[in-house]
């Protein structure tokens, strides 16, 4: 533990580090160590292969006990991000272009500015072998990618976490007046609100036969979610959209009221508060 001063106040907090289905406990432990090095402490683990708690993770964490002990485990990515306002997805592969792509320096500034504005943020990391699936990237707001050797672009999870964690800590040392990024005037809604909007729209499209096959359904949903995550809707804006979509279920094109059926209409009646 050379270079560690236990008498100094521990830096904690910051964006959540979200690991999607990590396989090896050693990797989780090294992630926790990298987080502790740079003042992050909110570790979220989605469906770890070998369960939790994990002795190998504890050993590899090299006494980053505060990170390991406070780590939270979730069954789904939606649950792991439900309370967050803004999420970066880390990926080295080219995507469909629906989302802004930032480098780690800019991403650190974005995260710092949003956290200072009171938002809850997170950074999503993929599996050791295959990274993140398209639909998982689709649930994030923006992409962060690292400038690496294109002939050898694969990063260990702990290495990737260390890189973004370093930029997070460094962003707090800069002059706050020199930032090139401004936080939005209205706080983005937590992801649980956005997930509710996804569910309502997808349920309505299913009922109307919009998806012609399972393959086309997955691609269409990926694109739809990518588009809807890009604006950074507030809770009020999402409620407006849900009220509008609810009216499609209540009335046909001639203006005649439909009989209520299914979760979509009932759920959005409660959200919108009145007739659209």
Per-residue pLDDT tens over the stretch 143-176: 999 988 888 877 899 999 999 999 999 998 755 4
Mean residue pLDDT across the chain: 82
Name the pLDDT band for 259 (thresholds 50, 70, 90). Answer: low
Are 88 and 101 in contact by the 8 Å Cβ rule? The answer is: no
pTM score, whole prediction: 0.71
Of 104-108, 181-185, 221-225, give the lowest mean pLDDT range. Answer: 181-185
DSSP summary character for residue 97: S
From the options 2.30.110.10, 3.40.1280.10, 3.30.70.2190, 3.50.50.60, give the CATH code of 16-178. Answer: 3.40.1280.10
User: CA–CA separation, 73 vs 262, rounded Å?
Assistant: 31
How many percent of the chain have pLDDT more than 90? 46
Q: Which residues of 150-184 are buried (b: 16+ CB within 10 A; e: fewer)?
A: eeeeebebbebbbbbbbbbbebeeeeeeeeeeebe
Per-range mean pLDDT, top range of 144-158, 212-226, 250-264: 144-158
pLDDT for 229 beyond 80: no
45-66 pLDDT per residue, tens: 999 999 999 999 999 998 899 9
Task: Give the chain's count of helices (H) and strands (E).
Answer: 11, 7
The per-residue pLDDT for 149 is 85
CATH code 3.40.1280.10 region(s) in the chain:
16-178
């Amino acid at each position: 533990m050379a270079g560690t001063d236990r008498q100094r106040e521990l830096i904690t907090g910051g964006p959540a580090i979200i690991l999607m289905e990590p396989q090896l406990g050693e990797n989780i432990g090294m992630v926790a160590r990298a987080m502790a090095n740079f003042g992050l402490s909110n570790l979220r683990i989605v469906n770890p292969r070998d369960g939790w708690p994990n002795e190998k993770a504890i050993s590899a964490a090299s006494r980053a006990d505060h990170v390991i002990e406070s780590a939270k485990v979730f069954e789904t990515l939606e649950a792991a991000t439900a309370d967050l306002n803004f999420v970066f997805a880390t990926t080295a592969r080219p995507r469909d272009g629906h989302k802004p792509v930032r480098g780690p320096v800019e991403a650190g500034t974005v995260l710092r500015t949003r956290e200072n504005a009171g938002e809850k943020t997170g950074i999503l990391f993929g599996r050791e072998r295959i990274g993140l699936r398209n639909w998982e990237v689709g649930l994030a707001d923006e992409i962060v990618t690292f400038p690496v050797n294109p002939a050898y672009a694969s990063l260990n999870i702990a290495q990737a976490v260390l890189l973004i964690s370093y930029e997070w800590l460094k962003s707090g040392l800069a002059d706050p007046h020199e930032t090139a990024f401004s936080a939005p005037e209205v706080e983005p809604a937590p992801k649980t609100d956005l997930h509710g909007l996804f569910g309502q729209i997808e349920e309505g499209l299913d009922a109307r036969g919009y998806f012609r096959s399972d393959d086309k359904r997955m691609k269409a949903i990926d694109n739809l979610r990518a588009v809807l995550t890009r604006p950074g809707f507030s809770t009020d804006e999402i409620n407006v959209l849900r009220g509008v979509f609810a009216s499609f279920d209540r009335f046909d094109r001639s203006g005649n009221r439909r009989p209520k059926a299914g979760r979509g209409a009932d759920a959005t009646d409660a959200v919108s508060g009145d007739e659209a």
